[in-house]
Amino acid sequence: MIVYAALAIFIVTYGLIATERFHRVAAALGGVAAMVVIGIINAESAFFSHETGVDWDVIFLLFGMMVIVGVLKQTGLFEFLALWAVRHSGGRPARLATLLILVTAALSPILDNVTTVLLVTPVTLSVCERLGLRPMPYLISLILAANVGGTSTLIADPPNIIIASRANLTFDDFLVHSLPLCLILLVVLIGLVRVLFRKDLRGHVELDGLIEPPASAIPDRGLLYRCLAVLGLVMLAFGLHTELHLDPSLVAMLGAGAMVVVSQTKTEEFLEEVEWATLAFFMALFVLVGGLVEVGVIGAVGTYAAELMGDNELAGVTGLMIGSAVVGGFVDNIPYTAAMVPIVEEMVASTSSSGADSPLWWALVFGADLGGNTTAVAAGANVVVLGLAAKAGHPISFWKFTRYGIVVTAVTLAVAWVYVALRYFVLA
């Protein structure tokens, strides 16, 4: 009976998250509360269990990166990059779209894609207004680029952090296995954007007097150089964290502390930039999925999936990618990933490969990240950009975005499937 109760709570909670009838944090915490009331969850399982509780490595990694980004925001670096893109576009809308895609994709591996679009979107709206361009194609391009760029590194997209923590994937593993695909997909994405938005990307805009020099966006060069030096050391430490015997979460926290010290930022200023709601949502999700692990639902589903896959790992890879696009298209890819990780763990356990050598883990990474482009609610970056667009008076409907998103998801996932099939099955 308790198994069915846990499953019902989980389904109702995810339904509320997907439909956005309630704020997703309220829905997730409500689900956790219901599981506590019926006795599935207690303090021990929620806060101290590695199998069923909060993954504190993920939480502190996110917190540290949020602080780092909050300090970097004050340097004007992101406005500089956007103005640089406009200057180098030469007033050509198609070239501007390409440069904005590259800027977004270049920032996503260092920050995370949600933070990247939070910083780039307002500048893009301002640029479009000054140049008299329709913002829709540029904003949708930013979302698509952020989700594609999210495949590149361990810290580029929240699903990567969740998967890496459970599968013991390192920062270097992502550089070796995931970054090459990201570079291929960026070329594909630029071509798709030019085709999908060809009517909006024609013509030429005269830039004289409309855009200030990029250097004007940097109020204090000394602060920028100090912060970039710390960021460089953080990225280096991420790459060497196994040799340094430091978990990525500790690297992020040390980097956050160093960034605060060199910038002399006041406590209230950098804490203001921390997305507390996102951290609370992650914590609630871990406990919610842990409740299903506790009653045996996840184990049963994982065993069934492993039996269904049998010895055909490629079938498992295909199922994960298609499932990520279909199911993940209507549920934010963060809760989708949190639910799928223990299931994929069971599938991986039934094969001869593990960790970074398992194509199943990479299928989940690529499926969750690229499936985030499927609909307007499939990823956090989508929700953030569309919310900012509506607030600025340029609303983009669910179906307007989805019409383009489905095409991009189908093409990029097909490329990703070929990449996985060649790398792990044909050339292995």
Residue 354, pLDDT score:
83
Residue 229: CB atoms within 10 A of its CB come to: 13
Residue 109, pLDDT score:
84
Residue 152: CB atoms within 10 A of its CB come to: 27
Residue 136, pLDDT score:
93
- pLDDT, tens only, 231-290: 889 888 877 877 777 888 888 899 999 999 998 888 887 788 787 877 888 788 788 878
Residue pLDDT tens, the chain, 428 long:
788 888 888 888 878 876 767 787 888 899 889 999 988 888 888 888 777 778 788 788 778 888 887 888 888 887 787 778 777 777 788 888 998 899 898 888 887 787 788 778 888 887 888 788 899 999 999 999 999 998 988 888 888 988 998 898 988 999 999 999 999 999 999 999 999 999 888 877 776 666 677 788 788 889 889 999 998 898 888 778 777 778 888 888 999 999 999 988 888 877 887 878 778 887 887 888 788 878 877 667 767 777 777 778 898 899 888 888 777 776 667 777 888 888 898 888 888 888 889 999 999 999 999 998 988 777 878 877 887 788 788 888 878 888 999 999 999 999 999 999 999 998 86
Nearest one of 117, 121, 122 to 150, comparing CA atoms: 117
Distances 310 to 38, 305, 306, 350 between C-alpha atoms, Å: 36, 9, 6, 8
- pLDDT, tens only, 134-157: 999 999 999 999 999 989 888 888
What is the distance between the alpha carbons of residues 118 and 308, in angstroms, rounded to a whole number? 41
Residue 311, pLDDT score:
79
What is the distance between the alpha carbons of residues 72 and 205, in angstroms, rounded to a whole number? 31
Q: Is residue 56 domain-resident?
A: no
Nearest one of 200, 180, 182 to 105, comparing CA atoms: 182
Helix axes 333-349, 313-326, angle to 10 degrees: 170
Q: Is residue 396 domain-resident?
A: yes
The gap between the terminal CA atoms of the chain, to the nearest Å, is 46
Nearest one of 323, 229, 220, 280 to 66, comparing CA atoms: 280
Total of domains in the chain? 1
What is the distance between the alpha carbons of residues 228 and 206, in angstroms, rounded to a whole number? 33
Under 8 Å between Cβ of 99 and 88: yes
Q: Is residue 74 domain-resident?
A: no
Which three-class secondary structure state does DSSP give residue 20?
coil
Q: Is residue 40 domain-resident?
A: no
- pTM higher than 0.85: no
Residue 175, pLDDT score:
92
Q: Is residue 403 domain-resident?
A: yes
What is the distance between the alpha carbons of residues 53 and 30, in angstroms, rounded to a whole number? 16
Q: Is residue 36 domain-resident?
A: no
Q: What are the structure tokens assigned to 102, written together?
A: 């590259």
What is the distance between the alpha carbons of residues 423 and 400, in angstroms, rounded to a whole number? 35
Under 8 Å between Cβ of 241 and 251: yes
Residue 291, pLDDT score:
84
Q: Is residue 160 domain-resident?
A: yes
Q: Is residue 149 domain-resident?
A: yes
Residue 216: CB atoms within 10 A of its CB come to: 12
- Which residues are CB-neighbours of 70 under 8 A, at least 6 positions away? 265, 269, 270, 272, 273, 274
Q: Could you tell me the residue range of the domain that residue 175 belongs to?
A: 92-207+296-427
What is the distance between the alpha carbons of residues 321 and 416, in angstroms, rounded to a whole number? 9
